[in-house]
Amino acid sequence: MKEFKILEIKKSVFENNDERAEQLRQELKTKHIFLLNLMSSPGSGKTTTLKRTIEALKDEFHIGVMEADIDSDVDAKTISETGAKVIQLHTGGMCHLDAEMTSQGLKGLDTEGLDLIILENVGNLVCPAEFDTGSAKNAMILSVPEGDDKPLKYPLMFTICDVLLINKIDAAAFFDFDLEACTQRAKALNPNMQVIPISAKTGEGMEAWVDWLRDETKTWKV
């Protein structure tokens, strides 16, 4: 039988990405720019949460937003109404952003004068969790209608995130969602994860989330 070569491409890709991500993280640190990687499933309320977040912090920080989608510019148009600096990133069919793609997005955004940048990653709980974007912190949104079992189904996402926002708690009465069970499952995977129940629609819980982001951004800049 003819011999053939086996190339472990996945490992190579991840290792190269991790190196680029760490380089990018240090570059941003030097510039005193805090980059937040925000992830979630489609329909979780990510853009609505982001709008409220910008509104709460726009007088304290110069904010930039990178909207990543496979296609369309719907979210970028929505965020541009907040006054934040925004750029739309099209991934060409890919379901995630990696460090190099993030770097290209930052160049396109032009980070001059910015101190807080939020990357709204492509909407899903699988691929984005596998690639380090070079962000200072990772955050995710889980909405009540998605169910409290998501930490069991997508453990990696919960493992790599620093904060979990459980959104749409104003609708909890209409869904079979156990907040305590979800929190316990998430904490079992990541004991250091901050869990913050919110309603981006009503504003409930948003103060705690904004306080967390404010503190992290200020700490990063020191």
One DSSP character per residue, 148-191 reads TTHHHH-HHHHHH-SEEEEE-GGGGGGS---HHHHHHHHHHH-T
Task: Give the largest Cα separation in the chain, rounded.
Answer: 69
Indicate the SS3 state at residue 5. coil
- The yes-or-no verdict on residue 2 having pLDDT over 70 is no
Which residue did the predictor score with more confidence, 216 or 94?
216
Provide the pLDDT for residue 9: 45
Tokens read off for 33: 């720019």
- The DSSP 8-state label assigned to residue 131 in this structure reads S
Q: Which burial class, exposed, middle or buried, applies to 172 when counting CB atoms under 10 A from its CB (0-12, 13-18, 19+)?
A: middle
Tokens read off for 76: 């970028």
Provide the pLDDT for residue 90: 83
Confidence category of residue 3, pLDDT binned at 50, 70, 90: low
Q: Around 59, how many Cα atoms within 13 Å sit in the side-chain half-sphere?
A: 2
Confidence category of residue 142, pLDDT binned at 50, 70, 90: very high
Q: Is residue 94 part of a domain?
A: yes
User: Tens of pLDDT along 47-61?
Assistant: 999 999 999 999 999
Q: Is residue 10 part of a domain?
A: no
Q: Is residue 4 part of a domain?
A: no
Confidence category of residue 202, pLDDT binned at 50, 70, 90: very high
Q: Around 24, how many Cα atoms within 13 Å sit in the side-chain half-sphere?
A: 25
- The yes-or-no verdict on residue 68 having pLDDT over 90 is no
Which residue did the predictor score with more confidence, 213 or 12?
213
Tokens read off for 9: 């491409």
Q: Is residue 8 part of a domain?
A: no
What kind and span of H or E run contains 53?
A: helix 46-57
Can you give the residue range of the structural domain that contains 112? 20-221
Q: Is residue 3 part of a domain?
A: no
pTM, two decimal places: 0.92
Other Cβ atoms less than 10 A from the Cβ of 120: the count is: 25
Which residue did the predictor score with more confidence, 2 or 32?
32
Provide the pLDDT for residue 25: 98
The enclosing domain of 121 has a CATH number of 3.40.50.300
Q: Is residue 13 part of a domain?
A: no
Provide the pLDDT for residue 12: 61
Q: How many domains does the chain have?
A: 1
Phi, psi (rounded to 5 degrees) for 94: -80, 145
| Distance between CA atoms of residues 137 and 160, nearest Å | 9
Provide the pLDDT for residue 6: 46
Q: Which of 13-27, 72-86, 96-110, 181-195 has the highest mean pLDDT?
A: 181-195
Q: What is the mean pLDDT of the chain?
A: 92
| Distance between CA atoms of residues 64 and 110, nearest Å | 9
Phi, psi (rounded to 5 degrees) for 86: -140, 150
Whole-angstrom CA distances from 1 to 4, 30, 187 are 9, 55, 51
Q: Which of 57-71, 100-114, 139-153 has the highest mean pLDDT?
A: 139-153
